[in-house]
Amino acid sequence: MPFYHKLGQIPHKRHTQFRKADGGLYREELMGLEGFSSLQSILYHHFLPPRVLRVADLGSAKPEYADFGPIRHRAFRTSGLASGGDPLNARIALLGNNDVTLGVSVADRSMDYFYRNAQAYETWYVHEGMGVLRSVFGNLAYRPGDYIVIPFGVTWQMIIDQPSRFFTIENPSQIEPPKRYRNAYGQLLEHAPYCERDIRLPEKLETQTERGEFEVRVKVRDRLSQHILDHHPLDVVGWDGYLYPWIFNIEDFEPITGRVHQPPPVHQTFDGHNFVVCSFVPRLFDYHPEAIPAPYNHSNVNSDEVIYYAEGNFMSRKGIDRADISLHPYGLPHGPQPGMTEASIGKKETAELAVMVDTFHPLQLTKQALELEKPEYMDTWLEGDGE
């Protein structure tokens, strides 16, 4: 997030001596994006950051894509996925391109290692469950509805307090509020659907000075490397800056409504390179006397649309269940299925909760996505005579 935060102990001036009680120096690390010209933070470690006992190759981390086949609307059932271990081991990539990878994870146990994604931001939308994100920047407790945003290069570990279901977004670019929501200084403006008060920052800095062997898995160049340290990775005594993990809860998104149906950009929550993230939340419907609350049919000529359905009944959809994912690729119009437009007339509000990702380059399907596909979804537009 583009505002300043600090935790723990830091010296008055950066790049100056900062000593431990025994007279030794704390080890300063600058973590920054875009070659010292974007967001950055300075961390102070008990141990030397580059110190690694040994390394090993854990193999490819690149999704395996399948042939997409003819263009058609698709849906995927993820509700039946069994818990598959910790959040990372349980994660399944379903859709992706060079800009973003989308997946799901159903986790029932904590990570017994640490992780650092050095090639991408990660956003974990919490559909179910509770737990804690531990990182070098401090701890963040999560709950249902949270978007957990983790920048490049952060060393972290997920602790599962309750079995957790996630929708995941991984992208080699920053995730941030849309520019139209911010002033020239980065402050969120009055018309934005959320403000800085809604952002949860790391609260408790956990400084560990334990010696021993600790595993850190590093993702970079589409491979996983195993690094074994001789000290605990969470050895930071203090930090300050603009780069750190943070959380925004979808229930803090204030919906924008109007007399007639509003276009999807009013639901935009975050911006990435060549994609956007939107939040559909409980809200009042349109209030023009002749309003049609259901969306109009539309062709997103340069955009693939993905929706993760979390809670409630999506007013414009048939054939969709809780935790399903729909994909409406460009090249084909989409809109409400037969009867849904008429059924929406006169309704005053909706309790739906969903996350939408619109991408500006075509998405590919993984082999795992094909195994979860609901092949009947495309036929849900064939009911009736088509008028």
Print the domain residue range for 342: 254-381
Q: For residue 87, which of 23, 147, 133 has the smallest C-alpha distance?
A: 133
Is pLDDT at 82 greater than 90 in this prediction?
no
Is pLDDT at 37 greater than 70 in this prediction?
yes
Can you give the pLDDT at residue 1? 66
Complete edge-to-edge strand list for the sheet that includes strand 65-66 = 65-66, 364-366, 92-96, 101-107, 164-171, 121-128, 146-150, 246-249, 199-200
Can you give the pLDDT at residue 318? 72
- Within 10 angstroms of residue 351's Cβ, the number of other Cβ atoms is 11
Give the predicted TM-score (pTM) of the model: 0.96
Is pLDDT at 308 greater than 90 in this prediction?
yes
Separation CA 349–CA 387 (nearest Å): 26
End-to-end Cα distance, the chain: 48
Distances (CA, A) of 287 to 255, 261, 336: 14, 9, 19
Instruction: Determine, yes or no, domain membership for 289.
Output: yes
Separation CA 86–CA 142 (nearest Å): 15
The tokens for 101 are 């990878």
Instruction: Determine, yes or no, domain membership for 122.
Output: no
Instruction: Determine, yes or no, domain membership for 355.
Output: yes
Complete edge-to-edge strand list for the sheet that includes strand 27-32 = 5-8, 236-241, 40-45, 27-32
The tokens for 12 are 């008055």
**pLDDT tens digits for range 150-173:** 999 999 999 999 999 999 999 999
The CATH number for 368's domain is 2.60.120.10
**pLDDT tens digits for range 211-221:** 999 999 999 99
β-pair type (101-107, 131-135): unpaired
Cβ atoms of residues 241 and 1 within 8 Å: no
Is pLDDT at 315 greater than 80 in this prediction?
no
User: What total number of domains does the chain contain?
Assistant: 1
For 28, phi then psi, to 5°, come to -80, 135
Instruction: Determine, yes or no, domain membership for 123.
Output: no
Separation CA 26–CA 43 (nearest Å): 10
With cut-offs at 50, 70 and 90, classify the pLDDT of residue 371.
very high
Question: What's the rounded mean pLDDT across residues 85-104?
Answer: 98
Instruction: Determine, yes or no, domain membership for 272.
Output: yes
Q: What percent of the chain has pLDDT over 90?
A: 87
**pLDDT tens digits for range 221-231:** 999 999 999 99
Instruction: Determine, yes or no, domain membership for 132.
Output: no
Separation CA 129–CA 323 (nearest Å): 14
More confident residue, 314 or 232: 232
Is pLDDT at 314 greater than 80 in this prediction?
no
Separation CA 334–CA 184 (nearest Å): 37
Q: 150: helix, coil or strand?
A: strand
Q: What percent of the chain has pLDDT over 70?
A: 99
Can you give the pLDDT at residue 319? 79
CA angle 64, 272, 68 (to 5 degrees): 30
Q: How many CA atoms lie within 13 A of 180 on its CB side?
A: 9
Cβ atoms of residues 148 and 124 within 8 Å: yes
Q: For residue 167, which of 273, 314, 279, 328 has the smallest C-alpha distance?
A: 279
More confident residue, 259 or 387: 259
DSSP state of 272: E
Can you give the pLDDT at residue 78? 97
Question: What's the rounded mean pLDDT across residues 314-338?
Answer: 87
**pLDDT tens digits for range 248-300:** 999 999 999 999 999 889 999 999 999 999 999 999 999 999 999 998 898 87
Instruction: Determine, yes or no, domain membership for 287.
Output: yes
Can you give the pLDDT at residue 300? 79
37-59 as b/e: b if 16+ CB within 10 A: eebebbbbbbbebeeeeeeeeee
Instruction: Determine, yes or no, domain membership for 176.
Output: no
Cβ atoms of residues 148 and 133 within 8 Å: yes
